[in-house]
Structure 1
Amino acid sequence: MTPVARAAAVLATAVIGLAGVPTQATADGTYAPLNHPQPVTQADTREVVEFFWYGCSHSQALEKPLEDWAAKQPKDVVLRRIPAVWSSAPDQDVERAHARLYYTLERLGQVDRLQLSVFQAVRDQGLDLTTEGAAAQWAEQHQVDRGQFTAAYESPQVAQEVEQAPQEMARYEVNEIPAAIVQGANQTTPSRTGSAEQMVTVVDQLVSQLPAQSEKHQVPMKSGLPPK
C-alpha cells in the first residue's frame, strides 16, 4: 500500500468511525461513506434518511420494501424522508411541486398512509399533481380535509421546507435517487446495489451494525431485582 493509499484508508476509517459504523461493510461496494458525516436528527436513534422523487420509477420501486422493512424495526430505528429537488435541474419546478405535496402530507400526518398512493397516482395513473388545485382535489379524494390541506400547502413552514430541500441534498452528498443514508454516515443507491429493492438489504445490514440505542439506557439487573 502506498503512503497516499494508506493515508486515504486511515481517513476513510476515521470518517466512518465518527458515526460508529464498522468499516468492513464497504468491501462489496454497496455503499459509500459520506465525505462529511451528518448528525442524526433525533438523539438516541438509529436514523435512515430516504431521498426520493414521486416521478422516479426507482424511488417507487424502493418505497414498498422500505416501508415494510421500517414497520418491523424497533422504536429506536427512525425512517426520515426528504423529497429530491435538484438545483437548476430541468424538472426543478415539478420536483418543487412534488416536494410541496410531500411536506403538506407530512404536516398533516398523512405520509405513512398516502406515500405509496402518491407514487401510484403520479407514476401509474399519470396524474399531474403539480398545482395546488390538482393536489388538493386528489387529497380530498383520499379522505384528507381540503381546508386543512390548503392551509398546510400554503403555509410558510411548508414553503421553507421546499426551499431547504436542495440544501439537504447537498448536505447529504446525494447525486442519485433514490438514496438512503444510514446514521448520517453511509449512503447506498441503486447503482451500488444493483436495484432499488436491494438497497433495503444494505440498509438493514448497516442499521444492524449500529448499537441499539435503547440498550444504552437499560439499567443492569442485580440480584434478580428489577431495575429502578
Structure 2
Amino acid sequence: MKRFIALFAGLTLGLLSSLASAQAKFQEHKHYEDVAPDVAAKDLPRTVTGFFWYGCSHCYAFEPTLDKWLEHKSDNIEFVRVPAVLGRNWVPHAQAFYATEKMGISDKTHRALFDAIHKDRKPLFAPADIAQFLADTSGADAAEILMNMNSQESRDAIAQSIDTAQKYRLRGVPALLVGGKYLVDPGSVGEELPEVIEFLLDQ
C-alpha cells in the first residue's frame, strides 16, 4: 500500500511539474493572448479556428506548418478555417472560400489559389477573375462559382467572419483562435505550435 501511495504521489508530482514547466514556457502576451477573459479555461471547447487571407504571404508560408499539425492533431480537436475580412479588398477571397466550400471543390482550389497568387504571381483579386481561375482549376462552372460568391449565404458568412474578428480583436493573419478564448500568432510560436495548442486546451 505504501508503495502504491508513493507511486501515485510521484506521478502526481510529475504531472504538476510538467504543467508548471509548460506554464513557465508559454506565457500570455508572448505566445498567446486571452481575448475572452470572461470565459473559464475549464469550459473551453476543443476547437481551433484558423483565420487567413489568400492575399497574405505569411498565411501562404504558414500553410505547410498548419497542414502538418492537421495531419497529426488529436481527433477530439475540431479545426475550422475562417477567411478574415480586415479590408475591402479581402472580400472577394472570402467569397471564393465560401463558394468553393459550398460547392465541395475546396480540396482542389484552396492550395491552388494560394499558389497562383504567391508562387505564380497571378493578379487574382477581381471576383470574375477568381471565379474563372477556380473553374479552370476544379472543372466547375465559372458562372456557378460567381453566383455562389455573390449569394446571400456568402454575404451572411462574411458578416459573421467580420463580427468574429471584431469580437476577438483580430488585428492580422494568420491567427489561430484556440477554444474560443486564446488568440495565437503562429509566427510567435514557430515549431512549438502543437504544444501551445495542447497547453491552452488542457489548462
Query: Structure 2 length as normaliser, TM-score?
Result: 0.74
CA shift, 1:157, in A, is 0.3
Question: Is 1:169 the counterpart of 2:170 in the alignment?
Answer: no
- Which residue pairs with 2:31 in the alignment? 30
Aligned pair count?
Answer: 176
Question: Is 1:77 the counterpart of 2:77 in the alignment?
Answer: yes
CA shift, 1:189, in A, is 0.9
Deviation sequence 1:64-116 (CA, Å, 0-9, x none) = 21012112223322221111212xxxxx2320111111111121223344322
Aligned with residue 127 of structure 1, among 122, 134, 143: 122
Larger helix percent: 2
In 1: Cα distance, 2:131 partner to 2:83 partner: 19
In 2: Cα distance, 1:134 partner to 1:38 partner: 43
User: SS in structure 2 opposite 1:125?
Assistant: coil
- Which residue pairs with 1:11 in the alignment? none
Deviation sequence 1:18-56 (CA, Å, 0-9, x none) = xxxx865326921121144679xxxx9621111111111
Cα distance 1:63–1:191, how it changes in 2: closer, same or farther (>3 A)? closer
- Which range is displaced more, 76-85 or 145-154? 145-154
CA shift, 1:151, in A, is 3.5
Identity %: 22
User: SS in structure 1 opposite 2:49?
Assistant: strand
Cα distance 1:185–1:27, how it changes in 2: closer, same or farther (>3 A)? closer
**Native 8 Å contact 1:38 1:172 kept in 2:** no
Question: Is 1:101 the counterpart of 2:101 in the alignment?
Answer: no
**Native 8 Å contact 1:85 1:165 kept in 2:** yes
- Which residue pairs with 1:17 in the alignment? none
In 2: Cα distance, 1:59 partner to 1:36 partner: 27
Amino acid at match of 2:32: Y
- Which residue pairs with 2:18 in the alignment? none
- Which residue pairs with 1:218 in the alignment? none
User: SS in structure 2 opposite 1:174?
Assistant: coil
CA shift, 1:191, in A, is 5.4
Structure 1: where are the runs of 5+ without partners? 1-21, 87-91, 212-228
- Which residue pairs with 1:201 in the alignment? 192
**Native 8 Å contact 1:181 1:188 kept in 2:** yes
